[in-house]
């Protein structure tokens, strides 16, 4: 298991003591996981862990068995004596697992029982991440196990301050942020996900255009599509706060139009092809930008539903019109 130092004996039996410093391998693994490589094997065995030399009165923190969550928590608890209860979330982070219900009441209750936590500690308090709350009903956990739940903070980085100040959550610890860095780290895995489907579309587009207008036309078509995809998958998330509108489809359209302009400047197409670019490319960007709502923590399900109901038919129509214009431009 990651960070293992030694076995310790206590009321709960044998509990592994883990280190609070991350190794080169931990960092490398995190980097790989962000690109979606080996993500599914990025798990930590669930159960009870010891950080430092925790006594029965020391606090119990709860996290998911996604290795990056686990690493982030232990790194921030350096120099402390605490218990860490890791739930089986199948390698998914706290926020997504809470949404799916795996970071949830049932698993927490089960893990408290299986780990023998009640024998390891003499108090009955658990400290949970705030983003785990959508899956856990605190009053249910209390009813079933006697352990009361405190939701500490959103970010693991706030845990030291929380523990040092008598377990008080400040307003800032409760408030979500979505910084440039936080947006940036989400992009790689989105790229990898989009790449497979895009490769197929690009191959078809390239073949069609190469057949109709020579290999250069094929290459230009592929590049134009690739750019529109990247505009939606990478540029839209990065530029999110500066793109106009509240709707992600609108934000994606805006950036797609900018890309359409760039392609026009570079490739000097005929007026009809230009029109086709300005109709088709923004639709592609808008689709990928809209997909990014799944990674954000401020878009509501009802909002995304509303956007999709309006945007999907428009995007479909735009792509169809764009292709029709391109076909006509070939015949003229």
Partner 1 sequence: MKGFAYLKNVATLELNREKCVGCGRCLEVCPHQVFSLAARTAAIEKKDACMECGACAKNCPVGAIAVDAGVGCASGMINEWLREHNIRGRSGEC
Q: Which of 46, 47, 135, 280 binds partner 1 (CB under 8 A)?
A: 135
Does residue 169 interact with partner 1 by CB under 8 A?
A: yes
Tell me if 188 sits within 8 A of 167, measured CB to CB: no
Nearer to partner 1, 62 or 326 (CB): 62
CB of 50 to partner 1, least distance (A): 28
How does 264-300 read in b/e, with b if 16+ C-beta sit within 10 Å? Answer: beebebeeebbbbbbbbbbbbbbbbbbbbbebbeebe
Which parts of 302-321 interact with partner 1 (CB under 8 A)?
A: 302-308
Closer CB to partner 1, residue 136 or residue 222? 136
Q: Does the protein bind partner 1 through residue 116 (CB under 8 A)?
A: no
CB closer to partner 1 out of 27 and 305: 305
21/300 with CB nearer partner 1: 300
The verdict on 196 binding partner 1 (CB under 8 A) reads no
The neighbouring-strand residues paired with 86 are: 47, 63
**Smallest distance, partner 1 to C-beta of residue 240, A:** 7
In terms of C-beta density within 10 A (0-12 exposed, 13-18 middle, 19 or more buried), how is residue 160 classed? middle
Integer Cα distance of 146 and 211 in angstroms: 71
- Residue 296 CB, shortest distance to partner 1, in Å, is 8
Name the residue nearer to partner 1 (CB basis): 83 or 248: 248
Q: Name which position in 27, 113, 119, 139 contacts partner 1 (CB under 8 A).
A: 139
Select 6 or 300, whichever has its Cβ closest to partner 1.
300
- C-alpha 67/C-alpha 91 separation (Å) is 7
Binding mask 250-289 vs partner 1 (x if CB under 8 A, - otherwise)?
Answer: -------------------------------------x--
Asked if 141 contacts 132 with a C-beta cutoff of 8 angstroms, the reply is no
CA dist., res. 256 & res. 250, Å (int): 10
State how far the Cα of 79 lies from the Cα of 72, in Å rounded to an integer.
Answer: 14
- Pick the piece of the chain touching partner 1 (CB under 8 A) from 11-19, 113-121, 166-174, 259-267: 166-174
Element (H, E) at 236: helix 236-239
Q: Residue 93: which of 134, 65, 71, 61 has the closest Cα? A: 65
Q: Which of 139, 145, 120, 141 is nearest to 60 (CA)?
A: 120
Residues in touch with partner 1 (CB under 8 A): 96, 98-99, 130-131, 133-139, 151, 154, 169, 171, 174-178, 240-241, 246-247, 287, 290-291, 293-308
């Amino acid at each position: 298991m990651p960070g293992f130092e030694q076995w310790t004996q206590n009321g709960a039996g044998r509990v592994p003591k883990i280190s609070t410093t991350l190794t080169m391998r931990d960092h490398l693994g995190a980097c790989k996981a962000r690109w979606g490589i080996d993500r599914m094997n990025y798990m930590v065995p669930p159960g009870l862990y010891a950080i430092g030399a925790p006594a029965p009165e020391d606090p119990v923190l709860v996290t998911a068995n996604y290795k990056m969550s686990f690493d982030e928590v232990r790194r921030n608890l350096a120099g402390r004596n605490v218990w860490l209860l890791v739930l089986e979330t199948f390698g998914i982070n706290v926020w997504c697992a809470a949404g799916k219900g795996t970071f949830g009441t049932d698993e927490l209750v089960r893990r408290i029982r299986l780990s023998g936590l009640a024998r390891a500690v003499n108090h009955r308090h658990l400290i949970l991440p705030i983003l785990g709350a959508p899956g856990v009903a605190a009053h249910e956990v209390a009813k079933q196990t006697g352990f009361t739940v405190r939701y500490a903070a959103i970010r693991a980085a706030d845990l030291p301050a929380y523990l040092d100040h008598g377990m008080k959550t400040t307003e800032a610890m409760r408030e979500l942020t979505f910084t440039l860095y936080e947006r940036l780290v989400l992009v790689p895995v989105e790229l990898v996900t989009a790449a497979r489907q895009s490769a197929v579309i690009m191959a078809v587009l390239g073949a069609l255009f190469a057949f109709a207008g020579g290999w250069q036309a094929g290459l230009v078509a592929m590049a134009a599509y690739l750019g529109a995809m990247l505009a939606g998958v990478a540029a839209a998330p990065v530029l999110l706060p500066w793109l106009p509108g509240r709707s992600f489809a609108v934000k994606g359209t805006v950036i797609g139009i900018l890309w359409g302009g760039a392609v026009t400047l570079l490739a000097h197409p005929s007026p009809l092809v230009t029109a086709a670019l300005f109709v088709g490319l923004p639709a592609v960007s808008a689709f990928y930008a809209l997909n990014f709502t799944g990674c954000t923590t401020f878009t509501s399900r009802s909002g995304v539903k509303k956007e999709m109901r309006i945007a999907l038919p428009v995007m479909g129509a735009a792509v169809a019109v764009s292709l029709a214009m391109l076909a006509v431009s070939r015949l003229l």
